[in-house]
């Protein structure tokens, strides 16, 4: 009996001992893992981390009306320095800053940091190869996408620009950023020493392409002639707008000075980014006279046979003296336009009601924003009829006291080119993007034809102010304009010409504007009209020859 109890106690002790030894071994293992293999575990965990990669979507292309590239994403590179290896010598720093066009202070600041530091983003393949040839230790490259503008300064103000992250910040790039930008893709999974484990992948969706009404051939012609004209005339700036009046499509919109959107480094004069054709408003001067004449004729207070005495070449009205270039004597309505008689316009306009004048000016788009082009534009200035004094009323009839942009002048002259129909200008080939309003008749066909005949006489008569706008083999209709303003004691002139061709069935309408001329030769007939002849003449040849 006693023996059995002793045996049972022995077995119990043995079992307890086994459990104790097992527990001690397990505890020892845990302590070993926790204390002695902590670094190993961390390394294992580090090799099995969540992996997220960002796959950039290509931005949509911007094309001209003939599918020529205006903006496109290309492969670029970010230059990165590994500060553990990047210890450049003086000559290497000099070569690096010269090649990348960066300040030496930037390199000095980078050298004070640790890890991997971006030196510059977005360099092209050629510059990458040049940099590789320098063989500077610690420099490596990360592939990315960058925006390229193959036409450079020729299309910059219309196409616009993107920021360093390819987000639109100006022009069509800004207006249609959502359409163009696309949708980035990516990958999420686990990364281990043996490779990627599982995960989800989403492919990037390229942005949609955008087609403009612009014809790059006409843009190139306009750019070349405008640059030359601004430099020769001493003007501060200039703009050219070319339109197909039948469709209201803008074929060319150019400004000078301009800029290369692919290389904006070093630009100090930020005014080069201004789209002057749409935002620079000015008193148009005599180029507004045909619009005022349309209002006068439509009031039925005169007819085509009316004649006005402009002698002795000046008139005093409401305490202000208005003069002509010389005493033109007794003039018909057509001669008042072709001679550009201020006196004749004052005499005709003083009997017009302010309400009627403002109504017609408004019908031509003066004082309203050309919203259908969508890119930023200023609305100009047209006074309320109730605010027009008698003096202001007659001044508006020869283009003072109102303001317009080059684009608005083009839109207004479409009424004459389309026999009285107002059409909203359009810059985008897909009309669904701009949703233009229906065409509106704002002038009777007969009145429009009468004004057109006056514009033809202005260019083609021996005494017309726009004789230098002639194009061989074509009948041109148009009007010159000159206005002056004083700024800081200096008198400067804005000179312009607006016209279309062929007069009997217009296919091209163009507006030429130069600002800030101080030279003695500054009239629209002397400066702007010859530019029209060159630009539109070459444009006709390009369109007809298909070159």
Q: Which helix (H) or strand (E) holds 180?
A: helix 177-181
Averaged pLDDT score across all residues of the chain: 87
| CA dist., res. 192 & res. 46, Å (int) | 8
- Which domains does the chain show, CATH number per domain? 53-183+200-211 (3.90.1310.10), 216-545 (3.40.710.10)
Instruction: Supply 59's token pair.
Output: 């931005």
Helix, coil or strand: residue 522: coil
Cβ proximity of 505 and 400 under 8 Å:
no
- Which single residue is written with the structure tokens 């503008």? 149
50, 190 in Cβ contact below 8 A?
yes
Contact 456, 503 (CB under 8 A): yes
529 closest CA partner among 453, 448, 422, 455: 455
Go through 115-126 and write b for each residue having 16 or more CB atoms within 10 A of its CB, e for each that does not. eebebbebbeee
Each residue of 99-137: pLDDT tens digit?
A: 888 888 888 888 778 788 888 877 888 888 888 888 888
Q: Which residues lie below 8 Å from residue 153, measured CB to CB, with a gap of 6+? A: 223, 258, 259, 260, 261
Cα distances (angstroms) measured from residue 485 to each of 284, 291, 296, 320: 11, 22, 27, 17
The pLDDT of residue 2 is 41
Range name among 129-133, 228-232, 505-509 with the lowest pLDDT average? 129-133
Q: Alpha-carbon distance 250 to 242, whole Å?
A: 6
pLDDT at 123: 83
| Helix (H) or strand (E) run with residue 322 in it | strand 320-323
pLDDT at 410 over 60: yes
d(CA 501, CA 455): 11
Tokens of 33: 């893992």
Most confident of 120-124, 401-405, 435-439: 401-405
Asked if residues 292 and 364 have their Cβ atoms less than 8 Å apart, the reply is: no
Q: What is the pLDDT of residue 442?
A: 96
Number of C-beta neighbours around residue 511 at 10 A: 31
Q: Which of these ranges, 99-103, 386-390, 425-429, 477-481, has the smallest mean pLDDT?
A: 99-103
H-helix or E-strand containing 441? strand 440-441
Do 332 and 346 meet the contact criterion of CB atoms below 8 Å apart?
A: no
Query: Which tens digit of pLDDT belongs to each residue from 161-215?
Result: 998 888 999 999 999 999 998 888 876 665 555 555 556 777 888 889 999 999 9
How many angstroms separate the CA atoms of 309 and 456, rounded? 22
């Amino acid at each position: 009996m006693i023996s059995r109890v002793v045996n049972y106690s022995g077995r119990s002790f043995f079992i307890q001992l086994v459990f104790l030894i097992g527990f001690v071994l397990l505890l020892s293992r845990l302590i070993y893992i926790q204390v002695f293999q902590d670094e190993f575990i961390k390394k294992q965990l580090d090799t099995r981390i969540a992996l997220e990669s960002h796959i950039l979507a290509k931005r949509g292309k911007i094309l001209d009306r003939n599918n020529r590239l205006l903006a496109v994403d290309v492969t670029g590179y970010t230059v990165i320095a590994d500060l553990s290896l990047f210890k450049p010598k003086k000559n290497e720093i000099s070569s690096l800053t010269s090649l990348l066009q960066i300040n030496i202070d930037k390199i000095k600041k980078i050298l004070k940091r640790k890890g991997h530091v971006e030196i510059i983003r977005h360099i092209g393949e050629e510059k990458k190869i040049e940099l590789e040839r320098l063989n500077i230790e610690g420099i490596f490259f990360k592939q990315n996408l960058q925006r390229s503008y193959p036409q450079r300064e020729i299309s910059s103000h219309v196409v616009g620009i993107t920021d360093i992250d390819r987000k639109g910040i100006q022009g069509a790039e800004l207006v249609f950023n959502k359409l163009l930008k696309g949708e980035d893709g990516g990958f999420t999974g686990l990364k281990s020493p043996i490779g990627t484990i599982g995960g989800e992948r989403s492919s990037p969706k390229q942005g949609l392409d955008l087609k403009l009404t612009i014809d790059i051939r006409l843009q190139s012609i306009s750019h070349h002639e405008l640059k030359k004209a601004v430099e020769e005339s001493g003007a501060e700036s200039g703009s050219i707008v070319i339109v197909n009046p039948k469709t209201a499509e803008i074929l060319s919109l150019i400004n000078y000075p301009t800029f290369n959107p692919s290389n904006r480094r070093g630009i100090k004069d930020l005014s080069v980014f201004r789209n002057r054709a749409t935002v620079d408003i000015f008193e148009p001067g005599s180029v507004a006279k045909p619009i005022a004449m349309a209002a006068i004729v439509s009031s039925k207070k005169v007819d085509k046979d009316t004649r006005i005495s402009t002698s002795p070449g000046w008139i005093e009205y409401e305490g202000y003296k208005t003069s002509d270039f010389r005493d033109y004597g007794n003039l018909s309505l057509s001669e008042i336009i072709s001679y550009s008689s201020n006196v004749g316009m004052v005499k005709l306009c003083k009997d017009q009601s302010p309400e009627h004048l403002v109504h017609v000016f408004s019908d031509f788009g003066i004082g309203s924003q050309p919203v259908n082009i969508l890119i930023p534009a200023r609305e100009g200035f047209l006074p309320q009829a109730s605010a027009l004094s008698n003096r202001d009323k007659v001044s508006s009839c020869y283009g003072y006291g109102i303001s317009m942009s080059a684009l608005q002048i083009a839109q207004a002259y479409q009424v004459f080119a389309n026999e009285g129909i107002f059409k909203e200008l359009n810059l985008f080939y897909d009309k669904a993007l701009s949703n233009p309003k229906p065409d509106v008749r704002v002038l009777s066909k007969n009145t429009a034809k009468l004004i057109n005949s006056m514009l033809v006489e202005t260019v083609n008569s021996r005494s017309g102010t726009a004789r230098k706008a002639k194009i061989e083999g074509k009948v041109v209709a148009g009007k010159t304009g000159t206005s002056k303003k004083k700024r800081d004691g200096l008198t400067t002139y804005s000179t312009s010409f607006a016209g279309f061709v062929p007069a009997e069935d217009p296919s091209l309408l163009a507006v030429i504007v130069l600002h800030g001329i101080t030279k003695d030769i500054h009239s629209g007939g002397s400066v702007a009209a010859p530019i029209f002849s060159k630009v539109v003449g070459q444009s006709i040849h390009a369109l007809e020859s298909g070159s």
